[in-house]
Chains A and B, each alone.
Chain A
Amino acid sequence: MSARTLFDKLWDAHQVKAETDSTPGVLYIDLHLVHEVTSPQAFDELRGRGLKVRRPDRTLATLDHSTPTLPPDADGKRPYFTKEAEAQVAKLEANVREFGVDLMGWDSPQRGIVHVAGPEVGATQPGMTIVCGDSHTATHGAFGALAFGIGTTEVGHVLATQCLLQRKPKSFAIHVDGALQDGVTAKDLILHIIGQIGIGGGTGHVLEYTGEAIRALSMEERMTVCNMSIEAGARAGLIAPDETTFAWLEARERVPKGEAWDRAVAQWRTLPSDEGARYDREVRIDASSIQPSVTYGTHPGMVVSIHAPVPAAADAIEQRALDYMKVTAGKPIAGEAVDVVFIGSCTNGRLSDLRAAAGILRGRRVASGVRMLVVPGSEQVRRDAEQEGLHEVFRAAGAEWRQPGCSMCIAMNGDLAQPGQLVVATSNRNFEGRQGKGARTVLASPLVAAASAVAGHVADPRDYMNQEVAA
C-alpha cells in the first residue's frame, strides 16, 4: 500500500461505503458529542419518524452554551438569561432521558464545555471519528482523531444511523519548525498560522499540524491549536498521537484499561503519517519568529504581532473592519484601552491557561475600570484550579471567578460586553457583535489577556513575567 497520511488512515478506517461519482461515502462516527443549542430539532426529527438513537453508548451530551455562569440563588434557582435559554436546557435534559443518552448535566462533576469535558473523561481517543453540532469540534483532532463540526440535520443523521454522508476533503500539512519563545504560546502560534493562510485558507481541507514545535506542545496546547482550525476554514485539524497523548489519556474514565489499553496504544502508534505520504498542500512556519499575536479586525485572519503596526486597509471592506474596531492603521494594538478581559472558552479555558493568567495576576490588581471574567472550561478545571488556589488569585486581583460554560465566547447566556467596549478575549472569534452587539473583540493568549487586565490597555505579557511581586 502506498504511503498514507494520518488523515488517509482515519478516513479509510471509517468507510462503511466508499464514495462514487453519484453518491458521497458513508462515514462511520465513533463518538457523537451533543449540546443543548444544536440538538433539539434533531431529536424532534427522530421523534417525528419514530426512530431511536442508534448507539447511545457512543453519544455523550453536556450543557454549556446557554447555561449561566453565576451560581443558583438560595432557593436553588439558576439565573438563566432568558426563559428560552432555560427551556432549551430543559429540552436537552428531557431528550436524553427519553432517548437514553448520557448527559454531563448540572449534577455531574464532569459537566463542562463539550470540547473540554469530552477529552477530560477520556471519551476522545486517537483513531476515532468524532462529530458534534459545533464547529470547534476540531479541538479533538489534537489526539489524532478526525473531528469536525456538523449542522443540526447531520446531528439527526448521526443520532439515527451513527453515520454521515461525506466526500473526502483534501489534506493540508502545516509544518511548524523551531521553538516558541518565552511568553509566546500555542494561541499565538495558531493566530499566526490563521493570519498566514487566511480565514478561508483551509476551506475544503483537513489540516495536519506537524514539526518539532508541534511535538513540543502539551496536550492542552495542542487542543488550543486544533480548536481554531475552523477559523482558517478547515473543518478539522489533526496532530499525530505520540507519548504525550498516551500519557495524558492513560487512566481517564472512558479509555480502555489493562491489556485493552496496551492493545489500543499499539494500534494508535500506527496512526502517524507514513514517511513520504503526500499532502495536497503544505506550508512551513518558523515558530521562533512568532511574537505575542492579537487580532485587530473583525475576523480571526486579521492578525498582527502585538507591537507591529496595524496594516493599512486593502479595500473598503477592510476599512469598515478597522472603523468597527476603532483602530488606526499604522499604530500597534499594544496600548489600546481595554474595558473587559475574558479568560475561558474551548480554546483557552483549561487548567494550564488559568495557571498562565494567574501567574501574571498574582500579587497584582486588575486596572481600575476594567472588568475581568475568568470562566473555567469544566467542573474538573474548576476543581483543579480551586485546589491550587487560583480562584483566590483571580478574586484578590479583582476578577470575577465564574462557573464553567461557553460564557462570553458566544455571549448567549447573558455574559456579554456593552456596545463599543473593547474586550481582550482568549476565545476564538472576533466577528462583529460576537461578544455583544457593537462589542469589539481582540483575540489573544491568556498571558496577553492577563497582562492587559493589569495594564488597562493591550499589553505584552513579557513585561510582567519572571518579575516577583510582593503578594
Chain B
Amino acid sequence: MSQTSRPLAYVHSRTAVLRDENIDTDRIIPARFLTTTERTGLGKHCFEDWRYAADGSDDPAFPLNQPQARGCSILVAGRNFGCGSSREHAPWALLDYGIHAVISSEIADIFRGNALKNGLLAIVVSDAEHRWLLDNPGAELRIDIADGTIRVPDGGTIRFDLDAFSRHCLLNGVDQLGFLLQQEDDITAFEQQQEKAA
C-alpha cells in the first residue's frame, strides 16, 4: 500500500462544541461551493452560512468563533453529525478549517466513511460520555488511535471503537486504493465467474 496522507497516531487539543443535532453536510459546506474541481481551499467556506455575519465579518454567535474555540482541532457535535449528502467536500472543508477529529453519539454513515478516508478521525461515544463532552467545551483531550482511547482532563478514559482497517490506514497513512489494486487477481476471477453465469 502506498502512503498518501500523513500518519496520524494522536490528536491532542481542547474541544470546540457545536451542540446542534443533525448538523447536515449542507451546513458544513453549502452546495454553492461544490463547483470546485479541487480538494483544497474549502476551509474558508466551512460552516459558511453559520459563521459569518451579513457584512462578512465573523458572527460572534457562532460557537467556533468564540476566542476559547479558536485553534481547537477536536469538534464535539450533537447527535447525527454529517447527515445528508455524500459530498466529500464536507470532511475536506473541516480538515482545511483545522479540525482533525469529530466526536458525537452518532455520525452519519457516508460522512464517517469519507472522513476516515481523509485522515479526519470520526469517533462515536456513548450518550453519557457525549453529554459530558457537550457540557464541557474546552476540555483538553488526548485521543490515542492505536489504543482507541480518549484521555479526559480528570484522568479518566473514554474507549471508542474504530474498525481495525481504518485504524491501520490512519496510523500508517496508507490509502485504501493501494490495497484494492492489490486485489486485481481476485477481481478478475470474480468477473470471469460472473460472465460465465450470465
Chain A interface residues (CB < 8 Å from chain B): 16-17, 21-24, 26, 28, 37-38, 40-41, 44-45, 49, 51, 65-66, 82, 84-85, 87-88, 91, 133-135, 149-154, 156-157, 160-165, 167, 169, 199-200, 203-204, 230, 233, 235, 260, 263, 299, 301, 317, 320, 410-412, 429, 431-434, 437-438
- A153, B31: Cβ atoms under 8 Å? no
- A41, B39: Cβ atoms under 8 Å? yes
- A167, B163: Cβ atoms under 8 Å? yes
In the complex, what distance in Å separates the CA atom of A327 from the CA atom of B20? 19
CB-CB under 8 A from B88, the residues of chain A are: 38, 41, 133, 151-153
B57 near A: Cβ within 8 Å? Answer: no
Which listed residue, A160, A263, A320, touches B177 by the CB 8 Å rule? Answer: A160
A437 touching B183 in the complex, CB below 8 Å, given contacts A161-B177, A299-B22:
no
In the complex, what distance in Å separates the CA atom of A153 from the CA atom of B86? 11
Would you give the shortest CB distance from B156 to chain A, in whole angstroms?
Answer: 27
Which listed residue, B37, B80, B108, B114, touches A88 by the CB 8 Å rule? Answer: B37
B96 near A: Cβ within 8 Å? Answer: no
CB-CB under 8 A from A157, the residues of chain B are: 176-177, 180
B27 near A: Cβ within 8 Å? Answer: yes
Besides A161-B180, A163-B180, 4 other A-B contacts (C-beta < 8 A):
A28-B194, A91-B37, A233-B83, A299-B83
Nearest 10 pairs of A and B residues by beta carbon? A151-B114, A151-B88, A40-B37, A149-B86, A84-B35, A200-B80, A152-B88, A135-B86, A412-B31, A431-B26
Question: Can you sample 9 A-B contacts with CB below 8 Å?
Answer: A41-B39, A49-B177, A84-B35, A88-B36, A88-B37, A150-B113, A151-B86, A154-B113, A165-B165
In the complex, what distance in Å separates the CA atom of A26 from the CA atom of B180? 8
CB-CB under 8 A from A16, the residues of chain B are: 183, 186-187, 190
B128 near A: Cβ within 8 Å? Answer: no
Q: From residue 179 to 198 of chain B, which have CB atoms closer than 8 A to chain A? A: 179-181, 183-184, 186-187, 190-191, 194, 198
Per the CB 8 Å criterion, the residue count for chain B at the interface is 52
Q: From residue 139 to 192 of chain B, which have CB atoms closer than 8 A to chain A? A: 163-165, 168, 176-177, 179-181, 183-184, 186-187, 190-191
A235 touching B110 in the complex, CB below 8 Å, given contacts A38-B86, A151-B86, A160-B177:
yes
CB-CB under 8 A from B86, the residues of chain A are: 38, 133-135, 149-151
Would you give the shortest CB distance from B160 to chain A, in whole angstroms?
Answer: 16
Which listed residue, B26, B38, B114, touches A433 by the CB 8 Å rule? Answer: B26
CB-CB under 8 A from A260, the residues of chain B are: 198
- B110, A149: Cβ atoms under 8 Å? yes
B19 near A: Cβ within 8 Å? Answer: yes
- B35, A431: Cβ atoms under 8 Å? no
B21 near A: Cβ within 8 Å? Answer: yes
B109 near A: Cβ within 8 Å? Answer: yes
In the complex, what distance in Å separates the CA atom of A432 from the CA atom of B35? 19
B15 near A: Cβ within 8 Å? Answer: no
Which listed residue, A17, A37, A84, touches B183 by the CB 8 Å rule? Answer: A17
A17 touching B186 in the complex, CB below 8 Å, given contacts A135-B110, A156-B177, A437-B30:
yes
CB-CB under 8 A from B19, the residues of chain A are: 317
B85 near A: Cβ within 8 Å? Answer: yes
- A28, B190: Cβ atoms under 8 Å? yes
A154 touching B117 in the complex, CB below 8 Å, given contacts A41-B37, A133-B86:
yes
B43 near A: Cβ within 8 Å? Answer: no
B24 near A: Cβ within 8 Å? Answer: yes
In the complex, what distance in Å separates the CA atom of A232 from the CA atom of B88? 19
Number of A-B contacts (CB under 8 A): 169
In the complex, what distance in Å separates the CA atom of A431 from the CA atom of B30? 10
CB-CB under 8 A from B163, the residues of chain A are: 24, 167
Interface string of B102-129 (1 = CB under 8 A from A): 0000101110011001100000000000
Which listed residue, B32, B106, B114, B165, touches A23 by the CB 8 Å rule? Answer: B165
In the complex, what distance in Å separates the CA atom of A194 from the CA atom of B172? 40
Would you give the shortest CB distance from B96 to chain A, in whole angstroms?
Answer: 14
CB-CB under 8 A from B14, the residues of chain A are: none
CB-CB under 8 A from A91, the residues of chain B are: 37
In the complex, what distance in Å separates the CA atom of A23 from the CA atom of B179? 10
Looking across the interface, which residue of chain B has its beta carbon closest to that of A256? B198
- A200, B106: Cβ atoms under 8 Å? yes
Looking across the interface, which residue of chain B has its beta carbon closest to that of A15? B190
A66 touching B87 in the complex, CB below 8 Å, given contacts A22-B165, A154-B113, A163-B187:
no
- A37, B35: Cβ atoms under 8 Å? yes
Looking across the interface, which residue of chain A has its beta carbon closest to that of B21? A317
B53 near A: Cβ within 8 Å? Answer: no
Would you give the shortest CB distance from B198 to chain A, in whole angstroms?
Answer: 8
Would you give the shortest CB distance from A347 to chain B, in whole angstroms?
Answer: 14
- B34, A412: Cβ atoms under 8 Å? yes
A432 touching B113 in the complex, CB below 8 Å, given contacts A38-B87, A161-B177, A317-B19:
no
B45 near A: Cβ within 8 Å? Answer: no
In the complex, what distance in Å separates the CA atom of A204 from the CA atom of B110? 10
Would you give the shortest CB distance from B29 to chain A, in whole angstroms?
Answer: 11
- A135, B84: Cβ atoms under 8 Å? yes
Which listed residue, B32, B34, B80, touches A233 by the CB 8 Å rule? Answer: B80
Looking across the interface, which residue of chain A has its beta carbon closest to that of B37? A40
CB-CB under 8 A from A87, the residues of chain B are: 35, 37
Would you give the shortest CB distance from A405 to chain B, in whole angstroms?
Answer: 13
CB-CB under 8 A from B186, the residues of chain A are: 16-17, 26
- B49, A437: Cβ atoms under 8 Å? yes
B79 near A: Cβ within 8 Å? Answer: yes
CB-CB under 8 A from B113, the residues of chain A are: 150-151, 154
| Residue of A91, A135, A164, A230 most packed against chain B (CB within 10 A) | A135
- A82, B35: Cβ atoms under 8 Å? yes
CB-CB under 8 A from B32, the residues of chain A are: 411-412
